[in-house]
Amino acid sequence: MAVRQSFVSIIGVLQTQYEVRMLPEWLEGLYQEMETQFSHFEFVLVNNGCDQIAVEEVIKPLPEALRKNIFLLQLSAPVNRDNAILAGLDRSNGDYTAIFEFDFAKKPGLVTEMWEQSQKGFDIVYLRAKQRRLPASQRILYQLFYFILKRYSTLRIDPWAHHTRLVSRRALNSLLRLRENSRYLKANYALVGYTNTSIQVAEPLHPDPSATFSEQVRTALVAVTSFTTFLRSLLLWIFLFSVLVAAVAVFNAVKVKFTSVDIFGEQVESLSGWAFLVVLMSVFFALTCLILYVMSIYLSNIYSEIKNRPLYIIESVRRF
């Protein structure tokens, strides 16, 4: 078969010692695939918190023909996985860029398969899982999160999409223009548009092992506030509920005043009202706190944007 005349950049993010140990197998498998299938290629490795010496030690024994295609980006401080991927995307030079997770190290042919799909008119080709490997409690939260994204935004985000995908140069250029500090790449892929398709794989989805559950919750809150109208809709329903509670309270007060019987049909002294007032104040105090909390999320996002801090800082770029 003729070699495909395309320049493909392969991006890998190193965040755990497992990924460092898998790196030689990942590189060698992809190198054999790329060498036989494509005319030009490069490997962009983003070291996001792993020991730099350990990473270099596993690369040095590799064949020189492979090492000369490697760019190692050393981040000065660990960032979340999406921002680490962004560092690699910024450095990509290819006509097509493939973000390739270590879960697929034994299937380097997926890069060629994604490229073949792209030639059918698709700018983004991603791998799609059949299941998500999570505890039952977290699985419910994930379902709620994606329901909110689907119901309260115009973005069409596949909840079963892996990070692994192939992106054309024109789609990547558009993606890189979305310089948001609150980065959620799956939403940004949908935001830029362009035609996309998926390839079904058996490997299940699982959360980033380096991210704690609280970090995942914060990421979900950022995504919900940045890409959906859910909280605005929630504020509307809170307002309507408050109006309803106030109307019931007024009606009850008038009814007790003239009949000494409350809305529950019980005899009540018209001058008491102390318990009802306490309950009413408690309800509105709780609602006020909730509204302030919701507004604080928006203010936090605005504050994060206006600071305009860099999403990552590259300490060094190493060639082998």
CATH number of the structural domain spanning residue 110: 3.90.550.10
HEC letters along the chain: CCCEEEEEEEEEEECCHHHHHHHHHHHHHHHHHHHHHEEEEEEEEEECCCCHHHHHHHHCCCCHHHHCCEEEEEECCCCCHHHHHHHHHHHCCCCEEEECCHHHCCCCHHHHHHHHHHCCCCCEEEEECCCECCCHHHHHHHHHHHHHHHHCCCCCCCCCEEEEEEEEHHHHHHHHCCCCCCCCHHHHHHHHCCCEEEEECCCCECCCCCCCHHHHHHHHHHHHHHHCCHHHHHHHHHHHHHHHHHHHHHHHHHHHHHHCECCCCCECCCCCCHHHHHHHHHHHHHHHHHHHHHHHHHHHHHHHHHHCCCCCCEEEEEEC
Residues 194 and 239 in one domain: no
- Could you list the pLDDT tens digit for every one of the 320 residues in the chain? 578 889 999 999 999 898 999 999 999 999 999 999 998 999 999 999 888 889 989 999 999 999 999 999 998 888 888 888 988 999 999 999 999 999 899 999 999 999 999 999 899 999 998 888 877 777 788 888 888 878 877 778 888 889 999 999 988 988 888 766 656 778 788 888 788 999 999 888 877 766 677 777 777 777 777 777 777 777 777 777 777 777 777 777 777 767 777 777 777 666 666 556 766 776 777 777 677 777 777 776 776 667 555 565 555 576 66
In terms of domains, do 176 and 246 share one?
no
Residue 100 sits in the same domain as residue 170: yes
* Domain co-membership, 179 together with 166: yes
Q: Is residue 67 domain-shared with residue 22, that is, in the same domain? A: yes
Residues 85 and 166 in one domain: yes
User: Are residues 170 and 29 located together in one domain of the fold?
Assistant: yes
pTM beyond 0.85, yes or no? no
| 224 belongs to a structural domain | no
Q: Both 121 and 240 in a single domain?
A: no
Domain count, the chain: 2
The whole domain housing 69 covers 7-210+309-319
